[in-house]
């Protein structure tokens, strides 16, 4: 990463550390969910890097959430252990699903991933023992560390910020490495990559597994703040939001989806606060935003930003 | 025994609906290559139209049905013109746009219907038909089955015996070749989505007196339509109809003897299995590399 | 002992027979031309050799092993690399990145080294090797340009560079001269000869007769999926059956 970008990151981080102290209580909540959603969206981008659009990502978040919930509440594991295991569980389920799912491509993969995700969600709804059925599992214990009260948003936010930052750093390293290069190659022209020895199935699986690992962690982070995990937190509606963030923000670069989720979250809050739009109508606004983005802004916000800031093509790789 | 016979009847009636749901989706995907994620919402629109006209404004049921069909069809045509046509080269973009429409239609339904409990339409045909000693079938459900089968028959006739129908099938088989032969792809796409949306609207209209009407009733429709379409074969209408009745029987019996959620889980798993083994479905045609 | 031997390969797609009992063998170090009128099955043969299709019948013996139906990345792992008809590149990646993908087999990272950068040395060597290949193909000065922005001749050269970076022992070149003007054709012919000098065995599918006659030591002619004739360029040029096939089929 260039020095300039590194400085920008540090400044943003510093700003985020200071920010909660200037916000009202419920906005502090929001910061936590925003941080979690950034991880969701960046981990999703890794999955899309291979050219496939999966609809199972948010369910994988749920897999992690349920794993952490069950380990911490029923088996007494501390959060610091249940959270990474949440990631590993999601990664493990993803690994199993690679075998059936990656025999499909494009549209079929989309439908297949949707079906698999929906089936998992219905399993949570049907099996009241141990998943709690439709009501899920509540009274999830928060993390414990010395005297820190993790019921409070600011400490929880700082913890989330640290975990998300480390995760983003890892994801960034992967993307900039040879592995990221190969994933991109598989995305652009899989047969060409195969002709020089790339095992495209292995790389697609890698993207899905690593992406699921991080979104599983995001799931654990989310539900341990809320204190409850239910199947409805991970339905197709939420998956669509992820799609909207990624598409509106743009997914050509690492920061595109981050821009998307931040801008749309701020936009969402602004919409609520202004009272212009009845909350019940908001999904329609998002539907319109999604359509407008596809039709008029195919490169997303980052595409607009890139054109605005760069003076000549090929300036920044 | 009673449960068994009743389940058979229920399977047939459900099959009729599943077939109507799936056939619309297959037409749109087959001819235009795009998945209309808002298909369930077109059904929902049909149901809401009947509720609004017939239950709320005393418009006769038999008039409300064609109005529902027309409204669904018009929404479909608008989607084709403004969302699918500009994205013809990127069907994924079309799919995502249809998700946007899904949200918009749900909100419109919510506004039209207001908050509160699910809407209900009193069945206009409220006699009960009795067969033998134990079988009691509401006339309304027989009516819907009859209309469903009749419509499928009309569709079959249209597709196999008319010139326009042949054009539709030609485009579904090979769009480029059809265009080279002089077939107007825009016109055919509009007809495909018009017919597909019409069938969805019809299904919704028929469903209105038989179930709770909510803005989210389309969710179940799209899932079932996907399962049926994939299992029956993405390009194959006859496959979809056959799969519709088979899946309806499967789902009805598993629900009756076991549990509805389990039935859907199994349905989804079957779909995944079919996708693995033969993505183009039981009767579909394999697309070459 | 031939390096590459195609034995009685038949390929059927449903009712269509694309290749019918074709046999030929390629010696190490030669430039073999695989020619024939349109629809003869030349590209299909390449796909069957490189693992993108599985022959319905028959064997493909490479380096002593039957590779018929093997996975493409296994075949390239053994040194048999195929290029693609119509320029096939990683569009939105730079020239350097495109070529860098080519040496995947020697320079791949695992997840650990990707995150922690522990294979820096190997990546450095890969980068140097890639620059060597780009210089060989005359693309070194364009290394940061986007692949999609290159002129046609450079795009073809880049496609070649990607394949070259994979250290091929056998290169299956699929119509590399298509759409080139005489100057570009000459340049490409020189490059191809330089590849042969490096010890690479080449099988060339091509319609451009100047390139074919100028480069190939031996020709294998396919027509409608069957083997029509084999011989030196001189022999083939005067072969009645071949002339008929081209005149009749239209090329």
Using 50, 70 and 90 to split pLDDT, how confident is the model at B56?
A: confident
Using 50, 70 and 90 to split pLDDT, how confident is the model at B279?
A: low
Residue A109 burial (10 A CB sphere; 0-12, 13-18, 19+)? buried
Question: Taking CA atoms, what residue in B is nearest to C53?
Answer: B289
CB atoms within 10 A of CB A265: 18
Interface pTM (ipTM) of the complex? Answer: 0.86
Residues of B in contact with A104 (CB under 8 A): 275-276, 279
pLDDT in tens, C32-49: 999 988 878 888 899 899
C182 and C240 in a single domain? The answer is yes
Say whether B115 and A280 touch across the interface (CB within 8 A).
yes
- Residue B22 tokens read as 């799936």
pLDDT of residue A99: 84
C127/A contact by beta carbon, under 8 A: no
- The sign of the torsion formed by the CA atoms of C148, C153, C154, C155 equals positive
Residue A146 burial (10 A CB sphere; 0-12, 13-18, 19+)? exposed
Distance CA B280, CA A103 (A): 12
Residues of C in contact with A179 (CB under 8 A): 108-111, 114
Domain boundary among C167, C185, C204: C167
C97/A contact by beta carbon, under 8 A: yes
Say whether A194 and C94 touch across the interface (CB within 8 A).
no
- Substitution target from B280, B285, B287, B289 for chain C, most C beta carbons within 10 A: B289
pLDDT of residue A162: 94
Distance to chain A for C85, nearest Cα, Å = 11
Residues of C in contact with B289 (CB under 8 A): 52-53
Structure letter (DSSP) for residue A147: T
Residue C65 pairs in a beta bridge with C62
pLDDT of residue A12: 87
C3 and C72 in a single domain? The answer is yes
- C80 SS3 class: strand
Residue C146 pairs in a beta bridge with C94
C13/B contact by beta carbon, under 8 A: yes
Q: Which 223-242 residues of chain B touch chain A by CB within 8 A? A: 223, 226-227, 230
Say whether B99 and A103 touch across the interface (CB within 8 A).
no
Residues of A in contact with C119 (CB under 8 A): 178
pLDDT of residue B200: 95
C93 and C41 in a single domain? The answer is no
Please state the domain count of chain C. Answer: 2
Residues of B in contact with A281 (CB under 8 A): 107, 111
Question: Is a pLDDT exceeding 80 seen at residue B130?
Answer: no
Question: Is a pLDDT exceeding 60 seen at residue C249?
Answer: no
Distance to chain B for C58, nearest Cα, Å = 21
Distance to chain B for C17, nearest Cα, Å = 14
Q: Which 128-187 residues of chain A touch chain C by CB within 8 A? A: 170, 173-174, 177-182, 184-185
C239 and C212 in a single domain? The answer is yes
Q: Which 248-287 residues of chain A touch chain C by CB within 8 A? A: 252
Please answer whether residues A41 and A242 qualify as being in contact, where contact means their C-beta atoms are separated by less than 8 angstroms: yes
On whether residue C148 sits in a domain, the answer given is yes
Residue A133 pairs in a beta bridge with none
pLDDT of residue B280: 62
Residues of A in contact with C116 (CB under 8 A): 173
On whether residue C84 sits in a domain, the answer given is no
Distance CA A252, CA C215 (A): 42
On whether residue C214 sits in a domain, the answer given is yes
Question: Is a pLDDT exceeding 60 seen at residue B96?
Answer: yes
Please answer whether residues B269 and A130 qualify as being in contact, where contact means their C-beta atoms are separated by less than 8 angstroms: no
Distance to chain C for B100, nearest Cα, Å = 28
Distance to chain C for B288, nearest Cα, Å = 8
Q: Prior bond to C20 cis, omega within 30?
A: no
pLDDT of residue C248: 61
pTM above 0.95, yes or no: no
Mean pLDDT of C115-132: 88
C183 and C68 in a single domain? The answer is yes
C153/A contact by beta carbon, under 8 A: no
pLDDT in tens, C127-156: 999 999 999 888 888 888 898 888 887 888
Residues of B in contact with A298 (CB under 8 A): 93
C71 and C107 in a single domain? The answer is no
Q: Which 241-300 residues of chain A touch chain B by CB within 8 A? A: 243, 247, 280-281, 283-284, 286-291, 294-295, 298
pLDDT of residue A17: 85
C46 and C120 in a single domain? The answer is no
pLDDT in tens, C150-177: 888 788 889 989 999 999 999 999 888 8
B271/A contact by beta carbon, under 8 A: yes
Interface chains of chain A (3 or more CB pairs under 8 Å): B, C
The crossing angle, in degrees rounded to 10, of helices B39-50 and B185-207 is 50
DSSP string of B123-187, one letter each residue: -S---EEEETTTEEEEHHHHHHHHHHHHHHHHHHHHHHHSHHHHHHHHHHH-HHHHHHTT--HHH
**Domain positions in chain A:** 31-233, 235-317
Question: Taking CA atoms, what residue in C is nearest to B286?
Answer: C14
Interface chains of chain B (3 or more CB pairs under 8 Å): A, C
Task: Determine what percent of chain C is predicted with pLDDT higher than 70.
Answer: 98
Using 50, 70 and 90 to split pLDDT, how confident is the model at C201?
A: very high
Q: CB pairs below 8 Å between A and C: how many?
A: 107
Cα C205 to Cα C31, C43, C54, C182: the distances in Å are 11, 7, 19, 18
- Substitution target from C76, C90, C107 for chain A, most A beta carbons within 10 A: C90
pLDDT of residue A221: 95
pLDDT of residue A39: 97
Q: What is the mean pLDDT of chain B?
A: 85
Least confident of B175-189, C16-30, C64-78: B175-189
C106 and C177 in a single domain? The answer is no
Using 50, 70 and 90 to split pLDDT, how confident is the model at B289?
A: very low
Domain boundary among C133, C152, C167: C167
Distance to chain C for B284, nearest Cα, Å = 14
pLDDT of residue A316: 45
Domain boundary among C123, C146, C167: C167
pLDDT in tens, C87-98: 789 888 899 999
Mean pLDDT of successive 10-residue segments in chain A (317 residues)?
Answer: 82 85 81 94 91 90 95 90 95 91 78 90 90 87 84 89 94 91 88 90 92 96 93 88 90 89 88 78 86 86 75 46
Residues of B in contact with A290 (CB under 8 A): 96-97, 99-100, 103
Which domain does C57 fall in, by range? 1-79+168-251
- Substitution target from C107, C114, C144 for chain A, most A beta carbons within 10 A: C114
pLDDT of residue B244: 92
Distance to chain A for C173, nearest Cα, Å = 12
C160 and C47 in a single domain? The answer is no
């Amino acid at each position: 990463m260039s020095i300039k970008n590194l400085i920008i990151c540090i400044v943003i981080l510093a700003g985020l550390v200071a920010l909660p102290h200037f916000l009202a209580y419920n906005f502090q909540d929001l910061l936590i969910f925003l941080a979690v959603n950034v991880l969701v969206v960046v981990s999703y981008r890794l999955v899309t890097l291979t050219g496939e659009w999966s609809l199972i990502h948010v369910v994988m978040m749920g897999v992690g959430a349920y794993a952490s919930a069950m380990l911490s509440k029923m088996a007494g594991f501390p959060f610091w252990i249940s959270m990474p295991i949440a990631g590993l569980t999601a990664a493990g389920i993803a690994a199993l699903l690679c075998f059936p799912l990656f025999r499909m491509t494009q549209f079929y993969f989309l439908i297949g991933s949707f079906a698999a995700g929906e089936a998992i969600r219905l399993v949570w709804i049907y099996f009241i023992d141990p998943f709690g059925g439709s009501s899920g599992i509540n009274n999830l214990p928060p993390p414990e560390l010395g005297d820190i009260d993790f019921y409070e948003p600011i400490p929880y936010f700082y913890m989330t910020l640290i975990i998300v930052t480390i995760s983003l750093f890892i994801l960034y390293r992967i993307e900039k490495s040879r592995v990221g290069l190969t994933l991109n190659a598989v995305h652009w022209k899989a047969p060409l990559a195969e002709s020089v020895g790339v095992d495209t199935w292995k790389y697609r699986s890698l993207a899905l597994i690593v992406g699921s690992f991080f979104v599983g962690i995001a799931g654990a982070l989310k539900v341990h703040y809320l204190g409850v995990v239910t199947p409805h937190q991970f339905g197709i509606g939420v998956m669509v939001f992820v799609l909207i963030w990624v598409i509106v923000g743009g997914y050509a670069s690492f920061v595109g989806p981050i821009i998307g989720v931040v801008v749309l979250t701020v936009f969402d809050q602004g919409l609520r606060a202004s009272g212009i739009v009845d909350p019940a109508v908001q999904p329609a606004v998002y539907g319109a935003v999604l359509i407008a983005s596809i039709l008029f802004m195919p490169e997303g916000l980052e595409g607009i930003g890139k054109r605005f800031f760069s003076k000549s093509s090929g300036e920044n790789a | 025994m009673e449960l068994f016979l009743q389940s058979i009847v229920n399977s047939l009636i459900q099959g009729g609906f599943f077939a109507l749901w799936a056939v619309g989706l297959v037409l749109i995907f087959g001819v235009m290559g795009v998945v209309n994620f808002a298909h369930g919402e077109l059904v929902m629109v049909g149901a809401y139209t009947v509720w609004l006209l017939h239950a709320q404004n005393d418009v006769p049921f038999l008039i409300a049905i064609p109005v529902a069909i027309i409204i669904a069809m018009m929404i479909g045509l608008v989607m084709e013109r403004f969302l699918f046509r500009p994205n013809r080269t990127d069907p994924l973009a079309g799919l995502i746009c249809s998700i946007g429409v899904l949200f918009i239609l749900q909100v419109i339904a919510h506004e039209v219907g207001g908050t509160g409990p699910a809407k209900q339409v009193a069945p206009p045909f409220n006699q009960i038909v009795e067969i033998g000693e134990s079988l009691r079938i509401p006339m309304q459900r027989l009516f819907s089955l009859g209309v469903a089968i009749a419509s499928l028959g009309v569709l079959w006739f249209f597709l196999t015996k008319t010139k326009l129908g042949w054009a539709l099938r030609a485009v579904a088989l090979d769009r480029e070749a059809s265009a080279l032969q002089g077939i107007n792809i825009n016109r055919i796409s509009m007809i495909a989505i018009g017919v597909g949306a019409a069938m969805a609207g019809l299904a919704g209209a028929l469903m209105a007196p038989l179930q709770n009407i909510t803005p989210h009733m389309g969710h179940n429709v799209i899932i079932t339509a996907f399962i049926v379409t994939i299992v029956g074969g993405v390009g194959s209408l006859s496959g979809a109809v056959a799969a519709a009745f088979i899946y309806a029987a499967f789902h009805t019996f598993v629900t009756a003897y076991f549990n509805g959620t389990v039935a859907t889980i199994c349905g989804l798993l079957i779909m995944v299995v079919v996708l693995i083994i033969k993505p183009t479905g039981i009767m579909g045609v394999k697309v070459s590399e | 002992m031939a390096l590459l031997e195609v034995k009685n390969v038949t390929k059927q797609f449903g009712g269509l027979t694309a290749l019918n009992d074709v046999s030929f063998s390629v010696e190490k170090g030669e430039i073999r031309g695989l020619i024939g009128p349109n629809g003869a099955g030349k590209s299909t043969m390449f796909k069957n050799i490189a693992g993108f299709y599985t022959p319905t019948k028959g064997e493909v013996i490479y380096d002593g092993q039957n590779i018929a139906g093997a996975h493409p990345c296994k075949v390239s792992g053994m040194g048999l690399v195929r290029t693609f008809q119509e320029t096939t590149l990683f569009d939105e990646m730079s020239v350097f990145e495109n070529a860098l993908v080519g040496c995947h087999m020697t320079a791949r990272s695992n997840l650990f080294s990707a995150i922690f950068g522990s294979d820096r040395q190997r990546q450095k060597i890969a980068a140097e090797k890639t620059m060597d290949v780009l210089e060989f193909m005359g693309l070194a000065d364009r290394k940061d340009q986007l692949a999609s922005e290159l002129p046609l001749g450079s795009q073809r050269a880049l496609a070649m560079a990607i394949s070259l970076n994979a250290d091929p022992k056998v290169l299956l070149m699929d119509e590399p001269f298509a759409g080139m003007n005489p100057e570009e054709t000459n340049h490409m012919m020189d490059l191809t000869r330089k590849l042969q000098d490096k010890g690479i065995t080449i099988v060339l599918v091509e319609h451009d007769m100047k390139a074919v006659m100028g480069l190939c030591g031996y020709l294998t002619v396919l027509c409608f999926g069957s083997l029509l004739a084999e011989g030196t360029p001189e022999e083939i040029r005067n072969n009645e059956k071949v002339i008929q096939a081209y005149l009749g089929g239209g090329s």
